[in-house]
Amino acid sequence: MDGVLCNSEEPSRQAGVDVFAEMGVEVTVDDFVPFMGTGEANFLGGVARVKGVKDFNPESAKKRFFEIYLDKYAKPNSGIGFPGALELIMECKNAGLKVAVASSCYDRKGLSAPCQEEASRANREKWLNQAWAVLIVRFDAIVSADAFENLKPAPDIFLSASKNLGVDTSECIVIEDALAGVQAAKAAEMRVFLTIPKRISYMLQTLRTMHCGPKFAVGCLL
């Protein structure tokens, strides 16, 4: 979902920079690129390993990450949704196609947890409830990281989405923007459309070493 339906990856990396800044560790938004799409714990933990951060607590870092992300970067009406994303979903639905979200992010409860800590944030909880309701109505299946030990680039999440939809993997098309997502789709033997992010040169260089074969295609979808 992040980077495909909404432009959340850039603010996510900014929030990650802020988390490490509070620890006194200097990082850049580019440090997070190799870990995009692998789940919040590895998104932050991967950078911590590279930077040699001692006594890094992934759970407290993730909690602080969501607090910063929601308070500073993902406010209601912040305009992070990609133009045309909703239209694409509805066109697929109108054509009789089944549509799912298969994300390495954790579900709405994980996102809203920081908002429940202070009464002053009640409006944020209401907004998240509304956003979650929209997802449930628009999609035939929603698969998040909560039920899985192995996240992308493992294929587990995509295989579960295929099963929930009742659609064979050979008939599934994945839209991804992250390298880990492309690797997961390939492992699930699904066809992939890759959206064009700013870091395309890094991704394409890596993808060439994967020998993705005929089930991989590059397309500018948004």
Q: Tens of pLDDT along 166-181?
A: 999 999 999 888 888 8
The confidence score (pLDDT) of residue 94 equals 87
pLDDT above 80 for 164: yes
The per-residue pLDDT for 80 is: 65
Among 98-102, 104-108, 147-151, 217-221, the least confident range:
217-221
pLDDT tens digits, residue range 29-84? 999 988 887 777 788 999 999 999 999 999 999 889 988 988 888 766 666 667 77
Q: Are strands 100-102 and 173-176 parallel, antiparallel or unpaired?
A: unpaired
Position 206 scores a pLDDT of 54
pLDDT at 215 over 50: no
Percent of residues, the chain, with pLDDT higher than 70: 69
Q: Is 0.75 surpassed by the pTM of this model?
A: no
For tokens 């929601």, the residue is 70
Question: Cβ(16)–Cβ(47) under 8 Å?
Answer: yes
Taking the C-alpha atoms of residue 97 and residue 89, their distance in angstroms, rounded to an integer, is 9
Is a pLDDT exceeding 60 seen at residue 221?
no
pLDDT tens string 105-130? 755 444 333 333 333 445 555 545 55
Mean pLDDT over each residue of the chain, to the nearest integer? 76
Q: What is the pLDDT of residue 165?
A: 94
The sign of the CA dihedral 11, 12, 16, 18 is positive
Write down the pLDDT at residue 210. 53
Contact 60, 19 (CB under 8 A): no
Nearest to 194 by CA among 35, 140, 185, 143: 185
Question: In this predicted structure, what is the pLDDT of residue 57?
Answer: 94
The 10 Å CB-count burial string (b at 16+, else e) for 11-39 is: bbbbbbbbbbeeeeeebebebbbbbbbbb
Q: What is residue 73's predicted lDDT score, i.e. its pLDDT?
A: 82
Give pLDDT, residue 145: 77
Give backbone dihedrals phi and psi of 101, rounded to 5 degrees, phi first.
-100, 125
Structure tokens at 187: 């492992």
d(CA 12, CA 102): 18
> Quick check: helix, strand or coil at residue 140?
coil
Supply the pLDDT for residue 126: 52
Q: Is the pLDDT of residue 185 over 50?
A: yes
Q: Select from 184, 188, 186 the least CA-distant residue to 163.
A: 188
Mapping DSSP to helix (H, G, I), strand (E, B) and coil, where does residue 52 land? Answer: coil
